[in-house]
Amino acid sequence: GQQVMQIPQYQHVQEGEDFTTYCNSSTTLSNIQWYKQRPGGHPVFLIQLVKSGEVKKQKRLTFQFGEAKKNSSLHITATQTTDVGTYFCAGQEGGADGLTFGKGTHLIIQP
Amino acid sequence: DAGITQSPRHKVTETGTPVTLRCHQTENHRYMYWYRQDPGHGLRLIHYSYGVKDTDKGEVSDGYSVSRSKTEDFLLTLESATSSQTSVYFCAISEGGLAGSYNEQFFGPGTRLTVL
């Protein structure tokens, strides 16, 4: 079945440094979504990417979908303490119901 | 936040007892999902529903059953709980399920289940 790998598992950064998490699928995806989960909270939808090579920005967050639609990345510029949490990618194959989630990247920020 | 509630929010039970978790939505979304979240495993799909009385298995369905008799309610049952089912359980909803059909998922607050 479809597998979605996400790296790194943990990332420690100093506040103000940049952060990137990467997602790779074993199969070609129809779309990929990103979610954020704060400590003790529930996952919250951030964005969906659909087109090959697509790039979307949300303030300090930049999301990319690879040309082959098998990989994606989330980049945060100048991290802030409010960015703490776990970031999940979730991929979907065409014709399939639902998403396959990566295991997430835990972002830890040191002030 | 989308109108999703889960009950109970916390439960401690003993091995071998039946447990039912409830997910209730007020969004009238067609799709509902049950996930479990464990350290090192991320979110794993247990079962999902694409309509009333329409359900299907996910990645880790063994030991779990579900029912959906109304659009707004999706029940997850552990027929005979085991310690390996100690986890945090999340319910999620989406308008659509297939790619490109408003398929972003909205999650409930979660239920922390401990099986002793």
pLDDT tens-place string over residues A38-76: 999 999 999 999 999 999 999 999 999 999 999 999 999
CA-CA distance, B84 to B81, in Å (whole number)?
8
Per CB-CB distance under 8 Å, the chain A contacts of B46 are: none
CA-CA distance, B37 to A37, in Å (whole number)?
12
Write down the pLDDT at residue A28.
93
Per CB-CB distance under 8 Å, the chain B contacts of A90 are: 43, 105
CB within 8 Å of A103: residues ≥ 6 apart: A5, A6, A9, A88, B40, B41, B42
Write down the pLDDT at residue B1.
61
Q: Helix (H, G, I), strand (E, B), or coil: what is residue B1?
A: coil
**B96 falls in which pLDDT band (50, 70, 90)?**
confident
- State the number of CA atoms in the 13 A half-sphere of B101 facing the CB: 18
Taking CA–CA distances from A43, the nearest residue in chain B reads B107
CB within 8 Å of A40: residues ≥ 6 apart: none
Cα dihedral A58, A59, A60, A66, rounded to 10, equals 30
Write down the pLDDT at residue B21.
98
What is the nearest CA distance from A78 to chain B, expressed in angstroms? 26
Per CB-CB distance under 8 Å, the chain B contacts of A51 are: none
**Least confident among A16-20, A43-47, B96-100:** B96-100
What is the tens place of the pLDDT at every residue in B50-89?
999 999 999 899 999 999 999 999 999 999 999 999 999 9
CB A32 within 8 A of CB A49: yes
Write down the pLDDT at residue A4.
93
Query: Residue B71 corresponds to which tokens in the numbers above?
Result: 């659009």
- A102 and B CB contact within 8 Å: yes
**CB-nearest partner of B103 from A41, A92, A102:** A92
Write down the pLDDT at residue B102.
65
